[in-house]
Chain A
Amino acid sequence: MTTIEQSELAVTTALTKRRRRDWRPKHGSNWWRHVVGILAAAFVLLPIIYIFSAAFNKIPTLADARVVPRKVTLHNFHQILTTKQLDPTLPTPHFLAWYANSIIIPAVAAIFSVFMGALAAYAFSRFRFKGRRLGMMALLLIQMFPAFLSVVAIYLILLNVGDVFHFAGLNTRVGLILVYLGGAMGVNTWLMKGFFDTIPSELDESARVDGATPTQVFWGVILPLATPVLAVIALISYIGALNEFIIASTVLQTTDKYTLIVGLQQFISGQYAREWGPFAAGVLLTAIAPTALFFALQRFIVEGLTGGAVKG
């Protein structure tokens, strides 16, 4: 008995010793991590570096652009900010109009849709009512229908809305915002409901005991606690609306109403297809704000991304 135990122990110790040598952290053996990192970074940076060099080079095509511009110039920025090539009759250069549209339309849509989504999420989280489960499931199901493929119907609806309210019909910013708000209830409502569920209900119960109405609880307890989460969801909705192409290109019909995605696509695919310099400058100007916002909120976004999946 003892011999067997002893030999077993010996074997284990030997194994452990051998293994231990194997998995001891190997300092100075990170060169392969650098190789992988550099290769991946090169892949990622390839288009980004090119757009930088094209933006600061005064050369019309990307092909002639050098990684390090021979002479740094702001000519392209000046051109994209002043050009009226697509529609000379416009009062303002169209890039500025697109830029303003791409801030206003997605931002208003994001704020209102987060607000309305939060209202619904609060109801789903805090009240028990008939049809609650059914409603939540219906939201998921509707979400799976590729909404923008019903763009024919959306077009017809806006046509009719425009007959009544001219400010909200086709080719209006308000009309596009209204359409985007149609997606306010959906995945976001599920996300927010999930977060509201984690806020202890004792908090609102004590407020209720003090005489607060559910509305006051929503404004006074839930909303202040949820502000960071709502900000992140608003950012995600903003990026989503910024990236939306089909509905925007159907609803917005004149150059001055375009959002950046519609405008830049036209700019680069149409008659001025080879004007890469101004285009590159426009891309840089467009990318700055959303990218900066992303990095500012990255921690929350990553938590939101992994939260549901990694919990277990």
Chain B
Amino acid sequence: MRARSLTSRLVATFAGPAGVALKFVFLGIFNALIVWAAAILASQHKWPAMVVTIAAAVAIDAVYLAPRRFPLKFLVPGTVFLIAFSLIPIIYTINVAFTNYSTGHILSESEAIEQIKINALAPPPNGKTYNLSPALDKDGNLVLLLADADTGKTFVGTREGLTPLPGSDVKVSAGTITEASGYNLITGARLFSLDKELESYRVPTPGGAIHPEGIDNAVQLAPTLRYDPKAKTFTRISDGVVYRDNGKGSFIATANGKREELEPGWKTYVGFVNFSRIIHDPLIRNPFLRVLLWTLAFAFFTVLLSFALGLFLAITLQKKFRLQRIYRLVLVLPYAIPAFLTILIWGGLMNPHDAILNSLFHVNIPWLYDPWWARVSIIIVSVWLTFPYFFLVSLGALQSIPGELVEAARVDGAGAWQVFRKITLPLLLVAVAPLTIASFAFNFNNFNIIYLLTQGGPAAGDQSIAGTTDILISYTFKLAFASGKGGDYALAGGVTIFIFFIVATISGAAFWRTKALETLR
């Protein structure tokens, strides 16, 4: 209460002119940031982003400078963040679910076509070779000083193109340029650190490109594919095979009964393909169903066992007796300690190297190694984490059951067991049952316990990235990020939408039930 008087004094100080001044200071800082952002966006030529930023800022200013509009004044700060970091990512994810966005289909179509053209460059049978001397120009940019191995003509190659260097400006020894006016040759150890940069360096020429090979050679590359912008096809020059846009973000040719695809593909809309893959493609459907089943089982057993254990312990320890307070304090510990720490500890207790649980109980159980034991381990740990919650809420609910009710029942001749079964338990269930649904929804998406304990493992042996203990959410995470084959963001997006519908259905049911209960009362 003393703290309250302090806050109210603080509040009184800031409510008057000081508050108004503060408001303008904040608005000023906000607008300064916006101007800064707009300037940077303009310098990067990101015009749409700049327009959106300024429009949003003007709208926000309008809300706060207008005399009324009170609800908006209170809603804007949270809503801005909600839109930027919740709503837009969600819309983006839903959008991605209808594309083929994945490793190999990251670029836009025009970028992919450019990349294919570059990939299709190869040294022709009798192509030109150059002796290479990497150098820096006046601005410190890497350039290639080239001497034609046959004719001895000298050139400078940049990322923009090839220009001749007059023989009077250079010194050549043993066919290689050793000095050039206006350029600093790179020599010694620094040459060897250029590897990566040279590897990706291409000097475009009319018929192809010049590409360094190692640090002292460069070769003329010629295209092996010809692009026809009108027909949107690639044609292989050697045998005339035509690659066509298959409408799904790839150029495909079927030559000699074989399906050939040009890499990379591009990102494009593919409609409901990802959803139909989940339903029809056995390589995705079977792991998906397996994961879904385990997710439901994991959430169900966690909630059921935690609820039962929490309720039982609450009933047992509700009565006042010696040490009761100590028991209660201890039993709440798993709820009080941050869960990620205790999950990591359990992981250590169960890990196969040390097998502490085994040596403690003189058993030999492959806790996290065997698929079934891994599932049991996860449920043990999740019950350990969850039952204190049900213990706490059950204790609260027990205390809120009116004593007269129990008294009345006893007077009417009900026995202890009858009182419990006919009065205490139903009232408790009415109070605690809705919470089981929330807990179910939470555990349905309990990424931490799976990832920190088993990372979804052990492997299922069906070629899938979904391990035997993966739940939908960790499976989705693996689809997007942790697969050896690269990320399939589109499929991950599809599964995310699926998860959303399941959770929304469960929560909707819970919401409807509580509504129904309220109207009943």
Contacts and interface: CB of A to CB of B under 8 A. Distances in A.
A1 interface: no
A141 B416 CA distance: 44
Contacts of B88: 153, 157
Interface string A114-129: 0011011011000101
29 contacts: A19-B414, A40-B309, A44-B334, A47-B346, A48-B342, A119-B77, A120-B78, A142-B87, A144-B503, A144-B507, A146-B503, A149-B476, A153-B90, A153-B92, A153-B93, A164-B37, A181-B81, A182-B85, A216-B15, A219-B19, A220-B11, A223-B7, A224-B8, A268-B348, A274-B353, A279-B344, A283-B344, A306-B396, A306-B400
Contacts of A156: 92
A33 B41 contact: no
Given A123-B71, A312-B431, A152 B4 contact: no
What is the predominant secondary structure among interface residues of chain B facing chain A?
helix
Contact of A23 (B36, B323, B419, B447): B419
Interface in B326-345: 327, 329-342, 344-345
Interface string B351-380: 001111001000000000000000000000
Interface in B382-410: 384, 388-389, 392-393, 395-397, 400, 410
Contact of B70 (A20, A123, A164, A245): A123
A185 B400 CA distance: 31
B89 A157 contact: yes
A223 B14 CA distance: 13
Nearest to B476: A149
Contacts of A194: none
Contacts of A160: 49
Q: Which of B77, B342, B345, B432 has the most CB of A within 10 A?
A: B345
A103 interface: no
Contact of B338 (A139, A149, A189, A290): A290
Q: Which of B78, B337, B432 has the most CB of A within 10 A?
A: B78
Contacts of B393: 302, 305-306, 309-310
B480 interface: yes
A281 interface: no
B63 interface: no
B415 interface: yes
Contact of B71 (A20, A127, A250): A127
Contact of A47 (B93, B349, B396): B349
Contact of A19 (B3, B36, B312, B413): B413
B44 interface: yes
Nearest to A32: B316
Interface stretch (A78-86, A90-98, A197-205, A291-299): A291-299
Interface string B266-291: 00000000000000000000000000
Interface in A227-278: 227, 239, 242-243, 245-246, 250, 260-261, 264-265, 268, 273-274, 276
A116 B354 contact: no
B509 interface: no
B165 interface: no
Q: Which of B37, B85, B503 has the most CB of A within 10 A?
A: B85
A44 B79 CA distance: 41
A182 B82 contact: yes
Contacts of A63: 353-356, 359
Contacts of A276: 348, 354
A283 B7 contact: no
Using C-beta atoms within 8 Å of the partner chain, give the interface range for chain B: 35 or more
B321 A309 contact: no
Nearest to B96: A152
Interface stretch (B152-160, B192-200, B492-500): B492-500
B183 interface: no
B86 interface: yes
Contacts of A305: 389, 392-393, 396, 435
B455 to A, nearest CB: 8
Given A123-B70, A265-B344, A41 B331 contact: yes
Interface of A: 12, 15-16, 19-20, 22-23, 30, 32-34, 36-37, 40-41, 43-48, 50-51, 61-63, 116-117, 119-120, 122-123, 127, 129, 132, 135, 139-142, 144-154, 156-157, 160, 163-165, 178-179, 181-185, 189, 212, 214-216, 218-220, 223-225, 227, 239, 242-243, 245-246, 250, 260-261, 264-265, 268, 273-274, 276, 279-280, 283, 286-287, 290-291, 294-295, 298, 302-303, 305-306, 309-310, 312
B445 interface: yes
B323 to A, nearest CB: 7
B63 to A, nearest CB: 12
B466 interface: no
Contact of B11 (A151, A153, A223): A223
Contacts of A41: 327, 330-331
Contacts of A15: 413
Interface in B426-450: 430-432, 434-435, 441, 445, 447-448
B40 A287 contact: no
Contacts of B307: none
A41 B384 CA distance: 11
Interface in B441-496: 441, 445, 447-448, 451-452, 473, 476-477, 480-481, 489, 492, 496
Contact of A116 (B77, B316, B447): B77
A135 B480 CA distance: 31
Contact of A312 (B82, B489, B517): B517
A246 B340 CA distance: 12
Contacts of B451: 245
B317 A261 contact: no
Nearest to B434: A309
B89 A310 contact: no
The 9 closest A-B pairs by CB, nearest first: A182-B85, A150-B89, A153-B89, A153-B92, A123-B74, A306-B396, A63-B354, A294-B336, A37-B327
Nearest to B489: A152
Q: Which of A164, A239, A312 has the most CB of B within 10 A?
A: A164
A157 B349 contact: no
Nearest to A33: B316
B349 A50 contact: yes
A279 B410 CA distance: 55
Contact of A61 (B4, B86, B354): B354
Contacts of B327: 37, 40-41
A219 B14 contact: yes
Nearest to B23: A215
A215 B397 contact: no
Given A44-B331, A145-B500, A291-B337, A150 B435 contact: no
Interface string B33-49: 10011001100100001
